[in-house]
Amino acid sequence: MLLVEKISEMQAISASLKRENKKIAVVPTMGYLHDGHLNLIKKAKSSSDIVITTLFVNPLQFAPNEDFDKYPRDMERDIKLAEEAGSDYLFCPSASEMYPQNYGTLIAITGITSKFESAMRPTHFNGVATVVAKLLNATQPHFAIFGQKDFQQTLVIKQLIRDLNMNIQMIIAPTTREEDGLAMSSRNVYLSEQERKDATIIYKALGEAISIVQKGEKRRKIVNAVMHKELRSVPYIRIDYAAAADSEYLFEPEEFLPSQQIVLLIAAYLGKTRLIDNALVTVPTI
């Protein structure tokens, strides 16, 4: 596996690979790789000839009060894991390479960014859209692989690729979970032993909501209430949102329609650690 730090070098490598008719897949990450990331790399390997993993903790998507400085980092470990998973290149630019002096461009996504994560983190998706556009421009892939865990983010990136006419196919891989259902996340290392035990309530709340939808419940407020009730069985949990929405545009109708696919979205704090998760469920036709 080759490490690349310069955008111009990465672009030159991708251009050369394309001249050889190689199919390129990129897996964008912020590092501190876990099995979820490694599964994305393996997914990329199965759909392409060349896999580029990017490793960049993006300052633009963190608000001043968030955990940019504390975000876990272990470059040596990440290099080893990415190579073992099958990555051919690790693109790991510095902040000054990505955002040099006098940098002044931000990409703003409208519509699907008006709620949920954006309500809690107003500048977050501008930072995400900007860095993803720059990473895609640097790596010039045919395929871009993302995980379902950051569901609203996948919609943002899908819109980015569509609206900016990028000739890139986006592939969304299922969320990788621990044995007890907790979605894998680099931030899970922040959890205390008790918080880690209690964090499974998020997966349980999603399961309760899936169950009532599959039994025929179409009323959005009822589905939301079921998730809130389950989450509150952990007394100290702080809920940012627990909501059902249309999975394509995040519309929130009073009632969902038969055959409509719903996304169930949860963001909550256990102690100082903010966790997000989601699940998809389709309203039955009968």
| pLDDT, position 114 | 86
64 and 191, same domain (yes or no): no
Tell me whether residue 16 is in a domain.
yes
Q: What is the CATH number of the domain that holds 61?
A: 3.40.50.620
Count of domains for the chain: 2
Q: Output the CA angle 242-248-249, nearest 5 degrees.
A: 75
Q: Coil, helix or strand for 87? A: coil
| pLDDT, position 63 | 73
Q: How far apart are CA 129 and CA 149, in angstroms?
A: 17
Tell me whether residue 179 is in a domain.
no
Spatial CB neighbours of 285, under 8 Å, sequence gap ≥ 6: 258, 259
| pLDDT, position 66 | 81
196 and 88, same domain (yes or no): no
Residue in the structure block whose two tokens are 């633009």: 60
| pLDDT, position 194 | 98
Those residues of the chain that have pLDDT short of 70 are none
56 and 198, same domain (yes or no): no
**What is the Cα 19 distance to its own chain's centre?**
31
| pLDDT, position 148 | 97
Query: How deeply is 151 buried, as exposed, middle or buried, from its count of CB atoms within 10 A (0-12, 13-18, 19+)?
Result: buried
Boundaries of domain holding 196:
186-278
Burial code (b: 16+ CB inside 10 Å, e: under 16) for 9-38 equals ebeebbeebeeeeeebbbbbbbbbbbebbb
104 and 237, same domain (yes or no): no
Q: Which of 34, 37, 124, 142 is catalytic?
A: 37
Q: How far apart are CA 169 and CA 61, in angstroms?
A: 23
| pLDDT, position 159 | 97
Structure tokens, 98: 């990505």
Q: How far apart are CA 263 and CA 281, in angstroms?
A: 6
117 and 90, same domain (yes or no): yes
pTM of the model: 0.94
| pLDDT, position 68 | 82
Tell me whether residue 285 is in a domain.
no
261 and 200, same domain (yes or no): yes
Q: Assess whether 37 carries a catalytic annotation.
A: yes
95 and 156, same domain (yes or no): yes
| pLDDT, position 126 | 93
